[in-house]
Chain A
Amino acid sequence: DGGITQSPKYLFRKEGQNVTLSCEQNLNHDAMYWYRQDPGQGLRLIYYSQIVNDFQKGDIAEGYSVSREKKESFPLTVTSAQKNPTAFYLCASKGFVQPQHFGDGTRLSIL
């Protein structure tokens, strides 16, 4: 079945540590997105990519980095510069005419 796989489901970060969240899709979608979800704030866009080797900042990109070396993969790195990383992170992908399709998410917590 086609879909989006996010891993891990739960992730813990120590102070000063970078962590990487994985997002893989087999839907052959060109566009991929990363959102952050905090209680009471809905989803906010971190980064998005319309094509391989290209990506743009969203509304809250500070403290995050991404890469898009393959069409199927769009990993998100939460760097030590992100001072409040505890949140639920959702990855999505989109085809040319299809709406955005979401993965199951990763919950990141601070140790």
Chain B
Amino acid sequence: AQTVTQSQPEMSVQEAETVTLSCTYDTSESDYYLFWYKQPPSRQMILVIRQEAYKQQNATENRFSVNFQKAAKSFSLKISDSQLGDAAMYFCAYTDTDTGTASKLTFGTGTRLQVTL
């Protein structure tokens, strides 16, 4: 079974600085998809970024980027120019397939990010 590990329960960053959240995963599949979801205090899950394992290029979305190391099974999230609105729980997630209707997500335990002035 696939597992996703987030070893940092809490992280803190100053406004305008850069922070990196770590995620490792275990799978025997060669093709899969990885995600970072943000859960603010409102508790809604918001997709931040998506990475396809067969793509060498790291995904980016504005201030959010990933460092995807397939051989090391590592998928870290970098948040640049941190803003107060970035404060939230961040979850790393994995699925074997993201097309069709058979997609099931496996989540890590989350990292709580605090943003200070």
Contact = CB atoms under 8 A, between A and B. Distances in A.
Nearest to A32: B101
Interface string B34-68: 01000000111111001000000000000000000
Interface magnitude class on chain A:
20 to 34
A58 B47 contact: no
Contact of B99 (A44, A97, A103): A97
A16 interface: no
Interface in A50-105: 50-51, 58, 88, 90, 92, 94, 96-97, 99-105
A35 B34 CA distance: 18
B104 A48 contact: yes
Contacts of A50: 101-102
B74 interface: no
A31 B47 CA distance: 17
Contact of A96 (B9, B101, B104): B101
Contacts of B102: 31, 50
B112 to A, nearest CB: 10
Contacts of A105: 43-44
B103 interface: yes
Contact of B104 (A42, A45, A97, A102): A45
A42 B44 contact: no
A26 to B, nearest CB: 17
A41 interface: yes
A92 B103 CA distance: 11
Nearest to A105: B43
Contacts of A102: 44-46
- Which 10 pairs from chain A and chain B are nearest by CB? A31-B101, A102-B45, A50-B101, A42-B107, A43-B107, A42-B109, A30-B101, A105-B43, A104-B44, A42-B110
Interface of A: 30-31, 33, 40-45, 48, 50-51, 58, 88, 90, 92, 94, 96-97, 99-105
Given A58-B104, A88-B43, 13 more contacts: A31-B103, A33-B104, A40-B9, A42-B110, A96-B99, A97-B98, A97-B99, A99-B47, A99-B50, A100-B105, A102-B44, A104-B42, A105-B43
